[in-house]
Amino acid sequence: MESTLRGVGVSHGVAIGEVRHMGTAVLEPPAKQIPVEEAEREQGRAHQAVEAVAADLVARGNLAGGEAQAVLEAQALMAQDPELMADVERRIAVGSTAERGVYDAFASYRALLAGAGEYLAGRVADLDDVRNRIVARLLGVPMPGVPDSDEPYVLIARDLAPADTALLDPALVLGFVTEEGGPTSHSAILARALGVPAVVALPGAGEISEGTVIAVDGSTGEIFVEPEAAKRAELEAAAAARKAALSASTGPGATSDGHKVPLLANVGGPADVPAAVEAGAEGVGLFRTEFLFLDDSERAPSEEKQVEAYRKVLEAFPEGRVVVRVLDAGADKPLDFLTPADEPNPALGVRGLRSLLDHPDVLRTQLTALSKASAGLPVYLEVMAPMVADRADAKAFADACREAGLNAKFGAMVEIPSAALRARSILQEVEFLSLGTNDLAQYTFAADRQVGAVSRLQDPWQPALLDLVALSAEGAKAEGKSCGVCGEAAADPLLACVLTGLGVTSLSMGAASIPYVRSALAKHTLAQCERAAAAARATDSAEEARKAAQAVLSGE
């Protein structure tokens, strides 16, 4: 019998297929004691397993490339954490087997993370995955993960570890559904990069029986269990119509009456560039540079290594615009050489620009590398700072750019509500703003972007968030400067129209979303977008805002 469930749609498209569940978790190893004379051998086994798992994660990252590579390399560093390994060795020294020592040491660290504030608690799923991989290797059992299947299927899991999501085969995995996670979790971001329809934060998803046919609508977040023939035909027709519309929509982003809205790509490194070019991106609106720094948490990459990586991206967009975000370290992306290890709440501590201003040599090297990488190229380079709170932050960053001799526009990210409220003040020091809607929502609603339980507050349709976007865009317009959106909100075609109506001047997203957004904008005039934006802001909830905008744009 057909039934409908609703989670959070995080990746466009419709998938219809039989359910396959993620493999069960690794069993807890027995707590047996070993003789003292075997401790050294067990410690050696533990080290070998850790190094093998770290190497496997790095290899998976190299295969996946882009943002997935950065996430997996961060997991590899987690596996090799020296304090964790020291704890493993201590436990083995007093009689634990290698696998039990790993299991208990990770459990202890897990408890610390879970109690260290919501931001770090969001890393627990990644830690569990690393533990499971190490324990599985020590026990000599297969690693639980994506099921083996010769036929395409819809994958259901409690949550998906980055190592699993990064290497999903879109030819077999039609779509996926998770019980946990949020719209800006690692799995959601990687799903969009893969172009696989996905729904997250769906309680009870694990109770759907293996082999059940379901339809997943990654745009609406709806799951149709055992859909009847009419519903399947309706969904398939809608998907076919959407695909045809995407194919027909080409060229620069613009509304139907010719108002230009450049559509840019979010990239994590050179590996993401081909997909961006193929999707018709008019440039890069967010070049995340963290991937370079995750190779070695103890020291920054050399200037030469940075120049090489930056130039590969800049060369791909001749005459195009490339917006580079300088290193955003801290919170869930700690680096030993840069971020404090003892912060009680890293998400509200020394993160982003704050870290760089505390380590001016790291910032200076990155800005100098960007200057050298862009030399002689016909690219429009723009460089922006993350986590700008006020005019003083903006001035400090602009001064650092000038001191490095950087021939580029300097900008500030709006991720903190204070930056939106004081946009005109910040624009006295920099030349553009870029809204990071993921973090802006997190800090506006005190809702961790990795925690599924508060995912409704991470919804970019929240009217309060739209108000902050409008404030930023209005401030930029008053100063004669630009204000783009580079957060995940830009990837929603309907919301892209609303953002345009709010006065946003460019939209940046994962490459897979560009055709959807281009097609949606081309159907509506700027005036319609403005009316939809006003209607959305006049509501009191995200769901009401979405419905109000949809009603305006559909002519209801």
Which residues are catalytic, by number? 186, 486
Q: What is the CA radius of gyration of the chain?
A: 24
| Contacts with 85 (C-beta within 8 Å, 6 or more apart), sequence order | 46, 47, 50
Determine the Cα–Cα distance for residues 173 and 426; give it in Å rounded to an integer: 45
Helix axis angle, 463-478 to 437-445, nearest 10°: 120
At 266, which helix (H) or strand (E)? strand 263-267
Determine the Cα–Cα distance for residues 404 and 400; give it in Å rounded to an integer: 6
Determine the Cα–Cα distance for residues 113 and 128; give it in Å rounded to an integer: 11
**Residue spans of beta strands (DSSP E) within 92-235:** 153-157, 173-178, 198-200, 213-217, 222-225
Q: CA separation (Å) from 90 to 43, 100, 104, 105, 455?
A: 9, 12, 11, 9, 39
Determine the Cα–Cα distance for residues 271 and 281; give it in Å rounded to an integer: 15
Determine the Cα–Cα distance for residues 88 and 50; give it in Å rounded to an integer: 11
Query: Which tokens hold the place of 513?
Result: 């979303």
Closest CA to 221 of 542, 530, 553, 551: 542
Determine the Cα–Cα distance for residues 200 and 178; give it in Å rounded to an integer: 5
Residue 341: count other Cβ atoms within 10 Å of its Cβ: 8
Q: How far is CA 286 from the centre of its chain?
A: 12
Determine the Cα–Cα distance for residues 114 and 112; give it in Å rounded to an integer: 6
Closest CA to 50 of 83, 23, 28: 83
How many Å from the N-terminal Cα to the C-terminal Cα in the chain? 32
Length of the chain: 556
CA angle 91, 92, 98 (to 5 degrees): 115
At 228, which helix (H) or strand (E)? none
| Contacts with 196 (C-beta within 8 Å, 6 or more apart), sequence order | 11, 13, 15, 168, 170, 173, 174, 175, 176, 218
| Pairing outcome for strands 482-485 and 506-509 | parallel
The upper half-sphere exposure of residue 74, i.e. CA atoms within 13 Å in the direction of its Cβ, equals 22
Amino acid found at 86: A
